[in-house]
C-alpha cells in the first residue's frame, strides 16, 4: 500500500462525514454516532444503509492485505469471522485500499455506492431502504469503474481528484509544510486506526475492508435483520481485543433525520436536527482554521499592554521560569 499520496488524515466525526458526502453531491443522507452498542439504537434511525466501524488495527490479528497477499486458494485462509466471498454479486462495490489515509472515505463510499439507484435496482428485496441520490460526481465515477476488479477500483478511487479534494477539505489545518512521510498513527501513542464498513447487500451482510482481498460475508441478512446481526458481528470482533480496550467508534449511515422529521411534521425534532447541523458547520470551520494569525495578534496586544505597564521584562522572566519548571517536571 502506498503512503499518503496527497490524502490527509481526517477525523472520525459524524459532522465531518456528513459534510464530506454532501460536498460530493450526495443528498438526504447523514452519519450518526452510536453511543451504545445495541440494535435498538440502530433501529431508531431507520432506514439505515450501513455502519462505519473504527478500531485499532493490530497487524498480527489480520489476514494478509489485499496488496500483498497471494490469491485465496484454500478454504483454511479465511478471516477470523465470516467467510471471503470470492464471487460476490457484480453490483457489489468493493475496492482494495491502495493508499494510506484514504480508509475513512473508502469505508463511507463502500456504503453509499452500494445503495445508490443502480444498486437498488438490482436488489430483489422490497423492504430495502430508499435509493441514495449520489450526485453527478459519484455517478460518473461509478459508471466509469463498473466492472473494475477490486485492486484497479482502489487505484481509481485513490486517483479521483473530486473525491480526494472532498476528503482533504476536512484535514486539520497547519501553517507548516511537513515534507516527511509519516505513518498513519495516533498522535499520542503511535497506534494505527482503520475504518471498515458493514452493509446489507442483496440479502447478505457484508464486511467491506479495503485491506482484505475480498468482501467478507457474514451470512444472510435482510434490512430488518441488519441491526441485530451487525451488532453481533461487531461484538465478536471487539471480543478479540484485550480486556479493557475501549478505543472504538461506530457510526450509522442513515437517511437525513430532517427529512423524517418533516414527513412526520415533528417541528421539535426538526429544530434539534437543524441545531445539530449548525454546530457541525461551526466545528468544521474551526477544523479548517490554524489560528496562527489570531494568536500572533493576541500576543502582540498582551506584550503592548505589559510594556505600557512597565512590566514587560518581569512578564518575560516569569514566563521563562514557568517553562523551566514544566521541563523539570517531565
DSSP 156-209: HHHT-HHHHHHHHTTBPP-SS---S------TTT---EEEEEEEEETTEEEEE-
50: phi then psi, degrees, rounded to nearest 5:
170, -175
pLDDT of the residue at 181: 42
Mean predicted confidence (pLDDT) in 110-130: 75
How confident is the model over 45-84, as pLDDT tens digits? 999 999 999 998 776 454 444 444 433 333 448 899 999 9
In the predicted structure, residue 224 carries a pLDDT above the cut 50 = yes
CA distances from 130 to 94, 134, 212, 242 (A): 21, 12, 29, 39
How would residue 111 be classed by pLDDT, with cut points 50, 70 and 90? very high
pLDDT of the residue at 322: 83
Mean predicted confidence (pLDDT) in 136-159: 96
Top pLDDT among 282 and 121 is at: 282
Nearest to 198 by CA among 117, 84, 108, 122: 108
pLDDT of the residue at 188: 46
H or E stretch at 217: strand 216-220
CA distances from 131 to 10, 28, 109, 117, 119 (A): 27, 10, 14, 5, 8
In the predicted structure, residue 183 carries a pLDDT above the cut 90 = no
Residue 254 designated active-site: no
Q: How many residues does the chain have?
A: 330
Alpha-carbon span 184 to 278, nearest angstrom: 30
Mean predicted confidence (pLDDT) in 9-32: 94
For the chain, give every residue range classified as CATH 3.40.532.10: 14-64+75-255
pLDDT of the residue at 114: 96
In the predicted structure, residue 186 carries a pLDDT above the cut 70 = no
Share above pLDDT 70 across residues of the chain, in percent, rounded to a whole number: 81
pLDDT of the residue at 179: 43
Nearest to 32 by CA among 254, 208, 230: 254
Q: Which three cell numbers stand for residue 272?
A: 434539534
CATH architecture, domain 14-64+75-255: 3-Layer(aba) Sandwich (3.40)
Top pLDDT among 79 and 310 is at: 79
Active-site residue identified among 115, 167, 184, 194: 194
Active-site residue identified among 103, 214, 221, 254: 103
DSSP 19-31: HHHHHTT-BSEEE
Mean predicted confidence (pLDDT) in 288-305: 68
Taking all residues of the chain, what is their mean pLDDT, rounded to a whole number?
A: 84
CB neighbour list of residue 264: distance below 8 Å, 6 or more residues apart: none
Residue 103 designated active-site: yes
Top pLDDT among 262 and 9 is at: 262
pLDDT of the residue at 301: 75
Amino acid at each position: 500500500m502506498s503512503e499518503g499520496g496527497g490524502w490527509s488524515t481526517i477525523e472520525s466525526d459524524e459532522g465531518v462525514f456528513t459534510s464530506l458526502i454532501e460536498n460530493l453531491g450526495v443528498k438526504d443522507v447523514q452519519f450518526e454516532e452510536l453511543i451504545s452498542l445495541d440494535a435498538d439504537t440502530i433501529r431508531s434511525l431507520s432506514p439505515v444503509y450501513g455502519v462505519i466501524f473504527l478500531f485499532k488495527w493490530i497487524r498480527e490479528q489480520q489476514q494478509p492485505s489485499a496488496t500483498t497477499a497471494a490469491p485465496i486458494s484454500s478454504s483454511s485462509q479465511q478471516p477470523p469471522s465470516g467467510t471471503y466471498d470470492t464471487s460476490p454479486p457484480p453490483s457489489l462495490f468493493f475496492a482494495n485500499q491502495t493508499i494510506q489515509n484514504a480508509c475513512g472515505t473508502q469505508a463511507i463510499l463502500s456504503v453509499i455506492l452500494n445503495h445508490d439507484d443502480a444498486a437498488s435496482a438490482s436488489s430483489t428485496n422490497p423492504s430495502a431502504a430508499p435509493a441514495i441520490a449520489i450526485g453527478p460526481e459519484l455517478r460518473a465515477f461509478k459508471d466509469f469503474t463498473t466492472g473494475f476488479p477490486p485492486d484497479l477500483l482502489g487505484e481509481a478511487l485513490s486517483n479521483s481528484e473530486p473525491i480526494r479534494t472532498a476528503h482533504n477539505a476536512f484535514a486539520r489545518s497547519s501553517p507548516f509544510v511537513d515534507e516527511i512521510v509519516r505513518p498513519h498513527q495516533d498522535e499520542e501513542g503511535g497506534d494505527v486506526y482503520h475504518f471498515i464498513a458493514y452493509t446489507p447487500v442483496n440479502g447478505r451482510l457484508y464486511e467491506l475492508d479495503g485491506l482484505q482481498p475480498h468482501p467478507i460475508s457474514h451470512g444472510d441478512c435482510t434490512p430488518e435483520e441488519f441491526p441485530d446481526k451487525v451488532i453481533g458481528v461487531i461484538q465478536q470482533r471487539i471480543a478479540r481485543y484485550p480486556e479493557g480496550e475501549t478505543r472504538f467508534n461506530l457510526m450509522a449511515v442513515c437517511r437525513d433525520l430532517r427529512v423524517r422529521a418533516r414527513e412526520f411534521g415533528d417541528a421539535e425534532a426538526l429544530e434539534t436536527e437543524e441545531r445539530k447541523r449548525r454546530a457541525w458547520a461551526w466545528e468544521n470551520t474551526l477544523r479548517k482554521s490554524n489560528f496562527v494569525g489570531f494568536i500572533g495578534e493576541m500576543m502582540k496586544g498582551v506584550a503592548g499592554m505589559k510594556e505600557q505597564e512597565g512590566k514587560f521584562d518581569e512578564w518575560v522572566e516569569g514566563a521563562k521560569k514557568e517553562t523551566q519548571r514544566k521541563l523539570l517536571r517531565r
